Amino acid sequence: MNRNSQLSDVLHVLLHMAERPDPATSAALAAAMHTNPVVLRRLMAGLREAGLVASAKGHGGGWVLSCPLDRITLRDVQAALRAPAPVWLGFREDRPACPAAQAVQAALSAAAQAAEATLLDRLGAVTLAALAREARRRRARRAAARRRSGPQRPIS
């Protein structure tokens, strides 16, 4: 089963954008996502339409956040991506004639709807500001561990 990583990819990019004092180019952001700038621009278009980011063309242009991190939730970003439902279970047929298939589809649909509602509630409770704080905390912890381990010498 293929997993859709658009939300995690875009959240990663938004956190990098938040750290920059200047606009970030599509090429720089695409490199952080390990993708092509065209793919990045397609993803960012929905965020721009939702008012989460803005872009400018030309020299000195690029992408910037349009509102404070504490006003953007993960749910806002997910909705702006216009991505497929975050919880999806496939069915062999949309309107099965078989009563057994109908029972299976009803049970799976109900479970998927409940799981999606819970997931969206959780995404709505987390802001980009909270994610940025966690990223800074992890970065500081990693830097401290590197300092404790001392300089790395090449093996000869």
- Residue 61: phi and psi, rounded to 5, are -85, 180
Is the full-model pTM beyond 0.75? Answer: yes
Task: Report pLDDT digits (tens) over 66-107.
Answer: 999 999 999 999 999 987 677 777 776 667 788 888 888 888
- Could you tell me the two tokens for 77? 């970003």
pLDDT-derived band at 156, boundaries 50, 70, 90: low
Task: Report pLDDT digits (tens) over 48-72.
Answer: 999 999 998 888 789 999 999 999 9
Mean pLDDT in residue range 28-35: 89
Residue 37: helix, strand or coil by DSSP? helix
